[in-house]
Chains A and B, each alone.
Chain A
């Protein structure tokens, strides 16, 4: 494989697709598939065949179009039309309308602000290319970054670009990616590993799944570039077994990339080899923690070990290992193609680039979005998200899932970046955003997330194993009307203990939802405990004698 051959593949694919007057893109990511977009695609194909338009209109399955709430989504190119809520019976109307006025009842233009406020880097190909076709990815400049990294740059040069870009880990903690790569590249070893962490376990988060389902080659290219930079020849994608479609697409992508010679032995006819293997997680949230993830890949029980030593020194099977999140790797190819300085020009001073968010909860437009760092919460909730369902009152937004915090409305104009979020007691997390309105009880929310952490704790260290149960029991008692005034202090004490003494990130961040709701919504706790009333009306208060 030479660059000319690669460009030819892209050119031929592009010409082939542009030969069609109309290209009908049907979303075939998990969100739309679950509302029967597979059948819609079939119906459209049949309709095209029935009308004998095979050489005129192309029906193509593409990755996530973003607006999951309005699925199944269909896009008509090159007109740029977008249809929402398409069903099988709409197929003939859609084809009828090609070249004429659009089908009004399916029109999606009311949602335009949803798309207008976004900036896409990671998701640039989502909804445009067929995730199962490597040619489609190549036509969009895919694997060009790997080629230039291999042929025109040194490993140190690649790391320099990543460092210059200011990219920070998108898994949640925001560790500078350049530093991590440098650490792994400096550790001397003949064998090194690159691991892609796709064990996305936060309730309400689906960014990594969508990227793997919509643009798997981007992640593979990022991993190969990382392998080249740090000196690793083996990669693992650790993905949850609950994401069968993502697993299937990444496996297909690996096979196609190997056949094309952009992965596997002697990539682009150089001495560099990079093999990628998929490993499935067995549904443990804690396996998103890097040392637990490594244990799981090794075939052991997925429980974390104390750090240091960090995986960059002592990782998979004792070898230096680079672990990055799906989104981090997905950012790498564009950085290599366009340069670190380009990436660094986007975002805020300390948080560069864009962030993909899974917007969920009580907003009108739920779905997958990507916005530059520094976008305010208000823009995300009210412009992109289209406001609260039923025009109810915004109450709080939870970032970072069970490890994150609830941010109240006084911080709506705060910029979304790693530092600002940490300041208000939340974290960026992997990018799950759950919007809550005045029908949500914040004590109940805290209880939900601590229950999640309680059952997902691996049970190794005492504070996390027992402390989370104690916190959960207190919150349960409070929401059932049995809370005592002294419970507040006990909660604070337990949260502080679990946060400061737990072994791994799961325990250290588990009290965050409780702490942040106590910080901003103490009046609700007091109402539950003192007045035995749930202000939002969601808790079934049933005061027992014991509490009086």
Chain B
């Protein structure tokens, strides 16, 4: 329904013009959701855990890590729950053997790609990637290690980036672009040769766009981005500001 312009502005607000509510099931449990909520957020609201790596509340979704894949009954395809919207009466399965097996293998692939040796990492014990191994029951890697070699950039006065620990989740890129508004970070290269860079692949310390806010360091899931002066296992990430990311982003971009 259309209203006069002054009323329409109010009507367009989501809280006045409520979205449709629908019901579906996750692992046999009946749940209800707004039609614009993702399966992932509905699952988490209902206490059903789905592992994620590239997802971060408040940032735009990438659908890139593929760890949050779920099965939807009637579809042969697996869907990333972070970007899939529920439909009425949909039956979602988050913990089938097939899905659990794929998730573990994807995590294994991540561990083979670069150097993720925890015992010498600043983030040992405070690492999202490390936590996923326990969550997914990954005990060893049965593929060959690739261990692509990358340089460490410690040119910034307060932070350093060790690309060997990077999982290319792009959280730093998104927080810098979407929250800080600086867009210092981005990706260069293709495939396994891709790498996050500051500005146009200049040393971080010489970046003219970096504001030094450090949000990228705090959202980084691994020890790739860390504060200087931290030794093994000392880099705890301070994510207290994360709940406010959503607020900072405003309504329209959810």
Contact B62 A460 (CB under 8 A): yes
Question: Of B6-14, B16-24, B43-51, B106-114, which stretch is located at the interface?
Answer: B106-114
B194 touches A470 (CB 8 A): no
By a CB distance below 8 angstroms, the chain B residues around A160 are none
Known: A493-B105, A501-B102. A463 touches B66 (CB 8 A): yes
Are the CB atoms of A470 and B63 closer together than 8 Å? no
In the complex, identify which listed stretch (A26-34, A100-108, A451-459) lies at the interface while the others stay far away: A451-459
Chain A residues with CB below 8 A from B62, complex form: 460
* Residues of chain A having any CB pair with chain B under 8 Å: 284, 286, 301, 305-306, 308, 454-463, 465-470, 473, 490, 493-494, 497, 500-503
Give 5 CB contacts A-B under 8 Å: A455-B191, A460-B168, A462-B106, A465-B113, A466-B110
Interchain nearest-CB distance for B172 vs A (Å) = 15
Query: Nearest chain-A residue to B62 (Cβ)?
Result: A460
Q: How far is the CA of A465 from the CA of B110 in the complex (A)?
A: 9
Q: How far is the CA of A456 from the CA of B190 in the complex (A)?
A: 7
A306 vs B110: C-alpha distance when bound (angstroms):
20
For A306, give its contact among B83, B144, B167 (CB under 8 Å).
Answer: B83
User: Chain A: which residue is nearest B69 at the CB level?
Assistant: A501
Q: Give B241 Cβ to nearest chain A Cβ, in Å.
A: 26
- Find residues 161-215 in chain B having any chain A CB closer than 8 Å to their own CB: 167-168, 186-187, 189-194
Are the CB atoms of B144 and A459 closer together than 8 Å?
A: no
Q: Does B244 contact A (CB under 8 A)?
A: no
Report which of B66, B110, B113 forms a contact with A503, defined as CB distance below 8 A.
Answer: B66
Additional pairs, 5, CB under 8 Å, beyond known A454-B192, A500-B78: A308-B85, A458-B190, A462-B64, A470-B144, A494-B143
Contacts of A500 in B (CB 8 A): 77-78, 102
CB neighbours (8 Å) of B65 from chain A are 461-462
In the complex, the answer to whether A459 meets B192 with C-beta atoms within 8 Å is yes
Chain A hits for B83, CB < 8 A:
306
Docked complex Cα distance between A343 and B167 (Å): 50
Whether A497 pairs with B63 at a CB distance below 8 angstroms is no
Give which listed residue, A301, A305, A460, A466, contacts B109 with CB less than 8 A.
A466
At the interface, yes or no: B221 with Cβ under 8 Å from chain A? Answer: no
Contact yes or no, A497 B191, CB < 8 A? no
Whether A306 and B190, one on each chain, are in contact in the complex, defined by CB atoms closer than 8 angstroms, is no
Partner of A502, one of B66, B112, B190: B66
Q: Which chain B residues in 59-76 approach chain A with CB under 8 Å?
A: 61-66, 69
B53 nearest in chain A by CB position: A462
Alpha-carbon distance between A490 and B110 when the two chains are bound, in angstroms = 16
B109–A463 CB distance below 8 A: yes
Select from chain B the residue with minimum beta-carbon distance to A286. B190
Q: Please state if B102 and A455 are interface contacts (CB–CB under 8 Å).
A: no
Do B191 and A456 touch across chains, with their CB atoms under 8 A apart? yes
Please measure, in the bound complex, the distance between the C-alpha atom of A454 and the C-alpha atom of B146, giving whole angstroms: 14
Q: Taking the complex as formed, is B58 at the interface, i.e. its CB lies under 8 A from any CB of chain A?
A: no
Q: Which B-chain residue is minimally distant from A304 (CB atoms)?
A: B63
What residues of B have a CB within 8 angstroms of the CB of A284 in the complex?
Answer: 190
Q: Give A201 Cβ to nearest chain B Cβ, in Å.
A: 13
A301 adjacent to B192 (CB under 8 Å): no
Residue B223 at the chain A interface, CB threshold 8 Å: no
Which residues from chain A contact B78 at a C-beta distance below 8 Å?
Answer: 500-501
| Closest B residue by C-beta to A493 | B105
Report the Cα distance A469→B77, complex, angstroms. Answer: 23
Once the chains are docked, how many angstroms separate the CA of A305 from the CA of B78?
Answer: 15
A457-B190 in contact (CB<8A): yes
Question: CA of A493 to CA of B142 in the docked complex: distance in angstroms?
Answer: 11
A398 to chain B, nearest CB (A): 22
* Cβ A503 vs Cβ B192 within 8 A: no
- CB-CB under 8 A from B86, the residues of chain A are none
Q: Report which residue of A456, A459, A467 has the largest number of chain B beta carbons within 10 angstroms of its beta carbon.
A: A459
CA distance A463 to B80 in the complex (A): 13
Bound: A460/B168 CA distance, A: 7
Expressed in whole angstroms, the Cα–Cα distance for A494 and B84 within the complex equals: 25
Using known A-B contacts A470-B143, A473-B144, A503-B66, determine if residue A459 contacts B191 with beta carbons closer than 8 Å: yes
B187 touching A301, Cβ below 8 Å:
yes
B192 & A469 in contact (Cβ 8 Å cutoff): yes
**A462 B146 Cβ-Cβ under 8 A:** no
User: Contact: A306 with B187, CB < 8 Å?
Assistant: no
Cα distance, A386 to B109, chains bound together (Å)? 46
A455-B191, A470-B112, A501-B69 known; A306 and B80 CB under 8 Å? yes
Docked CA distance A463–B104 (Å) = 11
B146 contacts which chain A residues (CB < 8 A)?
466, 469-470, 473
Cα A118 to Cα B69 with chains together (Å): 46
A497 and B110 form a contact (CB under 8 A): no
State in angstroms the CA–CA spacing of A454 and B192 once bound together: 8
Q: Contacts A284-B190, A459-B194 given: A470-B109 contact, CB under 8 Å?
A: yes
A500 to B105, CA, bound (A): 12
Residues A465 and B191 in contact, CB atoms below 8 Å apart:
yes
Interface-centre pick from B85, B109, B186 (highest chain A CB count, 10 A): B109
Residues of chain A with a CB closer than 8 A to B167's CB:
462
Chain B nearest Cβ from A236, distance in angstroms: 23
Do A462 and B189 contact each other (CB < 8 Å), given the known contacts A469-B146, A470-B144, A501-B78? no
For A490, list chain B residues within 8 Å (CB).
142-143
A123 to chain B, nearest CB (A): 34
Complex: how many Å from CA A459 to CA B197?
A: 14
- CA A75 to CA B112, docked complex, whole Å: 58
A467 nearest CB neighbor, chain B only: B109
A497→B83 CA distance, assembly (Å): 20
Instruction: List residues 74-120 of chain B with CB under 8 A from any CB of chain A.
Output: 77-78, 80, 83-85, 102, 105-106, 109-110, 112-113
Task: Report the bound CA distance from A473 to B144 in whole Å.
Answer: 9
- Complex: how many Å from CA A497 to CA B194? 21
Q: Which of B69, B84, B143, B194 contacts A465 (CB 8 A)?
A: B194
Q: Using Cβ atoms and an 8 Å threshold, which residues of chain B touch A502?
A: 66
Is the pair B109, A306 in contact by a Cβ cutoff of 8 Å? no
A306-B80, A455-B190, A501-B69 are contacts. A462–B143 as well, Cβ < 8 Å? no
- Give A462 to B51 CA distance when docked, in angstroms: 15
Min CB–CB distance B163 → chain A (angstroms): 13
Establish whether residues B110 and A462, one from each chain, have CB atoms under 8 Å apart when the complex forms: yes
Chain A nearest Cβ from B254, distance in angstroms: 15
* Chain A residue contacts of B66, Cβ below 8 A: 461-463, 501-503
The reply to whether A459 and B106 form a contact with Cβ atoms under 8 Å apart is no
Are A459 and B102 neighbours in the complex by a CB distance under 8 Å? Answer: no
- Shortest 9 CB-CB distances between A and B: which pairs? A459-B194, A306-B63, A457-B191, A466-B109, A306-B83, A466-B113, A460-B64, A459-B191, A501-B66
A305 and B60 alpha carbons, distance in the complex (Å): 12
Residues of chain B within 8 A of A493, CB atoms compared: 105
CB distance from A503 to the nearest CB of B (A): 6
Asked if A503 contacts B168 (CB within 8 A), the reply is: no
Asked if A468 and B191 sit within 8 Å, CB to CB, the answer is yes
What residues of B have a CB within 8 angstroms of the CB of A465 in the complex? Answer: 113, 168, 191-192, 194
Give the nearest-CB partner of A285 in chain B.
B190
Give chain A nearest CB distance to B95 CB in angstroms. 16
Provided the pairs A461-B66, A462-B65 are in contact, do residues A497 and B105 lie with their beta carbons within 8 angstroms? yes
A261 to B69, CA, bound (A): 51
Instruction: Determine the distance from Cα of A127 to Cα of B183 in the docked complex, in whole angstroms.
Output: 51
How many Å from the CB of A45 to the closest CB on chain B?
Answer: 45
A459 CB contact (under 8 Å) in B84, B142, B168: B168
